[in-house]
Amino acid sequence: MIELLRVPSLLTVQDSGRSGYRKLGVPVSGYMDDYSARIANHLVGNPGNAPLLEFLLMGPTLRFNASAVFAVAGDVDVKLNGAPVEPWASYWAKRGDVLEIGTLRSGLYGYIAFAGGIKCEPLLGSCSTYAKAGLGRPLKAGDVLNLGYAILTGKEGCRLPEELRPDYSAEEITVGVVLGPDLDHFTEEGVRMFLSEAYTITPESDRMGYRLDGRAIEHSEKGAGIVTSPLVPGTVQVPPNGKPIVMMRDAQTTGGYARIGVVASAHLHRLAQLRPGFKVRFREMSVEDARNEFLKKEKTLEAIRLFLGGRLRAYRIKAGEKSFIALAGNV
Amino acid sequence: MGETMNLKPLGDSALLISFGEVIDEETNDRVHALAGAIEKAGFEWLVEVVPSYSSLAVIYDAKLIDFEGVRQAIERIEFSAEKFEGRLVEIPVLYGGKYGPDLEFVAEYNGLTPEEVIEIHSRPIYRVYFLGFLPGFAYLGRMDERIATPRLEKPRLKVPAGSVGIAGKQTGWYAIESPGGWRIIGRTPLRLFNPSKEQSTLVQPGDRVKFVPIGEDEFEELYKAEWGHEND
């Protein structure tokens, strides 16, 4: 059991999200950065989709009312009873221990995973928070969370090698995008603009969508409006003002603005971690290449899971200033 | 029926099937008939199907299949729109008063009496084209234009769940409490979205809906049965 002592910013329970209810208008939701969240879970021996805490920018302070194994994912200072401990590593906390998490130095979302996961009654098949529809609510100081059982799992002392930790410090990133389905609503010049300009994340961005600013994307004579049609997270809609909006995890299930493209699902977590003021560029990608990126990311996460479970070994390869990590073994 | 069906990627994990950019019942029948056929086909890679007016998204597990594979599977599916028929769902509504604060305005705006607005609004059988925007929100067709009324200039910060309203030529409801600019003409005591139930929405895509005017006593009775407490 853990008790939240201080909650300075948006703090929610998330897992991999809801599926099967979009036709009722229920968004997918789930962790914004699946890469970090899944690694946080693997660090404590959980399956990747176990419910965990997601914080926006500023981490909470919490007290363990029973012993538990935890791990924090993010570029952030972590203190256990006032003594610094590492993020991207798992630790054993005793009853009464206080965990204090600072402000992210880079990125937007951080994660705290507990062995056994956060215990919750799934609503529509998921513990992900979507407060608008009464599916959970943001957490506040004083809330108490129960943890699930972790008998055989919950290994402390797992650590993710630095080379494998995601780096969200870049002020400009490029993500792949599969063009369409509404390309006929844009001029050739409009599409060229979208694929060549850098677009800035505006402060009007949240778990629902990231509004971007930059040179306006020109619509064709068909205009910005479409007959309302489905959206998925990563869809880039372009409203009449020509400034793109990237739909995120809590996005509505359907929308009425022309869709110029959809961000490659393997790249969406990097966009999710991009701070307001930072820039993104879109690079055209075929649907096959985008899927290959997705399969590559899944493979990497699986290798990390096996490594953290002690089934693969890490070998550091130095190449001049840079070092790489290779995970290898018989599985 | 495949000749006017257009299949495109919607990113790397979804395929969009479009029957053209139209809003009509015949096309929407095809959308729901095909959605049902895909759901029934038992594809192991299928995550879910999301229908809308004239298009549907097929969400798939990209670990198990690629776009081309999904496309071929969809093209082989046989479906008949003629057989498609949704349920008829009756939705009791208490019109006017504190539950329908804009009924008078809608009447005045259109040169009608409130009773005439209620009559015009509750007479037709509306099609649920699909659900979207927010959980349990239904895109309904078609409202009688004699009661069309523009949205509020300043949206309300809180519209209670169950509120039934008009926005331009559209009618619909607030399945969950939210801010909103629709002209509210009444409220249903039924829960349009209940996340703790597996069958979480009162209506399903493709259903048909009839609003049934009720009195205050019936509203309170139904409300208590549905929500488990008195309305406040």
Q: Which of B48, B83, B118 is the last residue of a domain?
A: B83
In this structure, are B104 and B206 located in the same domain? Answer: yes
- pTM for the model: 0.94
Tell me the pLDDT tens digit for each residue of A230-242: 999 999 999 999 9
Give all domains of chain A, ordered by start, each with its CATH number.
2-163 (no CATH), 172-285 (2.40.100.10), 288-328 (no CATH)
> What is the pLDDT, as a whole number, of residue A151?
60
Nearest CA of chain A to the CA of B63: how many Å? 7
Spatial separation of the C-alpha atoms in residues B160 and B175, rounded to whole Å: 9
Band (pLDDT 50/70/90 cuts) for residue A155 is low
Domain membership of residue B70 as a residue range: 2-83
**B52 contacts A228? CB cut-off 8 A:** yes
Answer whether residue B193 is part of any domain. Answer: yes
In this structure, are B111 and B188 located in the same domain? Answer: yes
Contact residues, chain B, for A134 at CB < 8 Å: 176, 195
Band (pLDDT 50/70/90 cuts) for residue A48 is very high
Out of A139-153, A301-315, B5-19, least confident range? A139-153
List of residues 6+ apart from A77 with CB closer than 8 A: A84, A101, A102
Contact residues, chain A, for B66 at CB < 8 Å: 287-288, 291
How far is residue A176 from each of residues A33, A215, A231, A263, B208, measured CA to CA in Å?
16, 19, 17, 6, 41
Q: How many domains does chain B have?
A: 2
In this structure, are B103 and B69 located in the same domain? Answer: no
In this structure, are B192 and B124 located in the same domain? Answer: yes
In this structure, are B71 and B97 located in the same domain? Answer: no
Q: Which of B83, B99, B123 is the last residue of a domain?
A: B83
In this structure, are B208 and B125 located in the same domain? Answer: yes
Best mutation site among B7, B12, B15 for testing chain A: the one with the most A CBs within 10 Å? B12
For the domain that residue B104 is a member of, what is the CATH number? Answer: 2.40.100.10
> What is the pLDDT, as a whole number, of residue A154?
53
> What is the pLDDT, as a whole number, of residue A316?
86
ipTM score of complex: 0.95
For the domain that residue B60 is a member of, what is the CATH number? Answer: 3.30.1360.40
Residue A63 has pLDDT above 90, yes or no: yes
Answer whether residue B232 is part of any domain. Answer: no
The answer to whether residue A20 neighbours chain B at the CB level (below 8 Å) is yes
List of residues 6+ apart from B225 with CB closer than 8 A: none
In this structure, are B210 and B101 located in the same domain? Answer: yes
Percentage of chain A lying above the pLDDT 70 cut: 98
Could you list the pLDDT tens digit for every one of the 232 residues in chain B? 444 899 999 999 999 999 999 999 999 999 999 999 999 999 999 999 999 999 999 999 999 999 999 999 999 999 988 767 789 999 999 999 999 999 999 999 999 999 999 999 999 999 999 999 889 999 998 899 999 999 998 889 999 999 999 999 899 999 999 888 999 999 999 999 998 888 899 999 999 999 999 999 999 999 999 998 888 6
In this structure, are B122 and B215 located in the same domain? Answer: yes
Residue A2 main-chain phi, psi, to 5 deg: -125, 150
Spatial separation of the C-alpha atoms in residues B167 and B181, rounded to whole Å: 8
**A20 contacts B57? CB cut-off 8 A:** no
In this structure, are B73 and B178 located in the same domain? Answer: no
**A22 contacts B59? CB cut-off 8 A:** yes
Q: Which of B22, B48, B83 is the last residue of a domain?
A: B83
Contact residues, chain A, for B48 at CB < 8 Å: 19-23
In this structure, are B39 and B78 located in the same domain? Answer: yes
**Closest Cβ opposite residue A180 in set B8, B23, B176:** B8
